[in-house]
Amino acid sequence: MSMLYHYTSQTGIIGIIQSRSIWATHAMALNDSSEFFHSLSFAREVANGIFEDDGYLSAFGWAVHHSLESVSADDLYLTSFSEKPDLLSQWRGYCPAGAGLCLGFDSNDLETFCERQGYKLEKCIYEHQDQIKQIHDLVERCLNRFPKPPLSRDEYKALTSKEQVNFELDYRLRTSQGPDKLEADAAVTWLCAEIAKLAPQFKNEGFHEEAEWRIIAKEPKEQVKFRASSSYLAPYVGLEILISAANTTLREVIIGPNPNQARCEASVKALLTTTGLDDVELRRSSLPYNNW
């Protein structure tokens, strides 16, 4: 059985257990909302390269670049897990000092929940070259869907400079206003949708130690609610991952570095018992970390 771990506070575990839900926050309300646009910048670089360096396909490069301007994180909600339990950087980064908890969930149950709801459970991609390859592959597949130029590349190369410019203008007009517009629009719309789905998986490679996975809820069925953040209201939805009568999803709770681990463990055990989750395993962090 594989596990994924969610680091939280004492307030967080009370909310998760009592509501049988975990919060997924709107992508633009994350601590670093620039993450979503990380992949878009790669796609724009690819499109700009085609537009500027390959006159034969400049109409395609222009169409992709133009369409990417409309890609947004509307109705996209995310919640995070780690492959790694009892990880020092996670205690430091995502838990209050001396009061953190790590909840271990059965990843197969999380996957089943996502399939049922039409969401995705995906591993984050950290390596820069892997990210670039994913974008290049999508752009290549989009090009295969895009209307083909009326001339072959060899025929284009045989044209004079003036004829090549006329060809490029005509190709762009055909795909932006003329008879090939519907096919061209469908191709770039597909690309934008695929990039919007891929974008939440991209993270800066400096965070690779976290080994993060995310539930990605696009246009969630759950009611959107709001919580107070440091300087704004953050929209979120509650994903009912513990709704089944017989718990199989929450398997473990790790008591983080804490000045009174024994008392904290006893209180968490009482919470689990009174909410019908007394089969959940409890253990204490083994890290000699003092931050209180």
pLDDT at residue 244, as a whole number: 63
| Residue 290 belongs to some domain of the structure | no
- Structural domain including 206 reads 3-284
Task: Name the token pair of 36.
Answer: 């979503």
Write out pLDDT tens, residues 117-126.
999 999 999 9
pLDDT at residue 174, as a whole number: 96
Place of tokens 């939280």: 8
| Residue 88 belongs to some domain of the structure | yes
| Residue 62 belongs to some domain of the structure | yes
| 0.75 surpassed by pTM | yes
Task: Evaluate whether 191 touches 199 at the Cβ level (below 8 Å).
Answer: no
Write out pLDDT tens, residues 86-108.
999 999 988 988 899 999 999 99
Phi, psi torsion values for 135, nearest 5 degrees: -65, -45
Closest Cα to residue 34, out of 237, 214, 247, 200? 200
Task: Evaluate whether 84 touches 210 at the Cβ level (below 8 Å).
Answer: yes
pLDDT at residue 128, as a whole number: 85
Q: How far apart are the first and last CA of the chain?
A: 35
**Positions in the chain short of pLDDT 50:** none
Closest Cα to residue 104, out of 240, 272, 251? 251
| Residue 33 belongs to some domain of the structure | yes
| Residue 99 belongs to some domain of the structure | yes
Please tell me the distance from the alpha carbon of residue 129 to that of residue 118, in angstroms, as a whole number: 29
Q: Give the number of domains in the chain.
A: 1
The C-alpha angle 63, 27, 140, rounded to 5 degrees, equals 30
Write out pLDDT tens, residues 170-194.
999 999 999 999 999 999 999 988 8
| Residue 289 belongs to some domain of the structure | no
| Residue 291 belongs to some domain of the structure | no
| Residue 137 belongs to some domain of the structure | yes
Task: Evaluate whether 273 touches 288 at the Cβ level (below 8 Å).
Answer: no
pLDDT at residue 247, as a whole number: 65
Please tell me the distance from the alpha carbon of residue 80 to that of residue 10, in angstroms, as a whole number: 17
Closest Cα to residue 209, out of 126, 98, 113, 96? 126
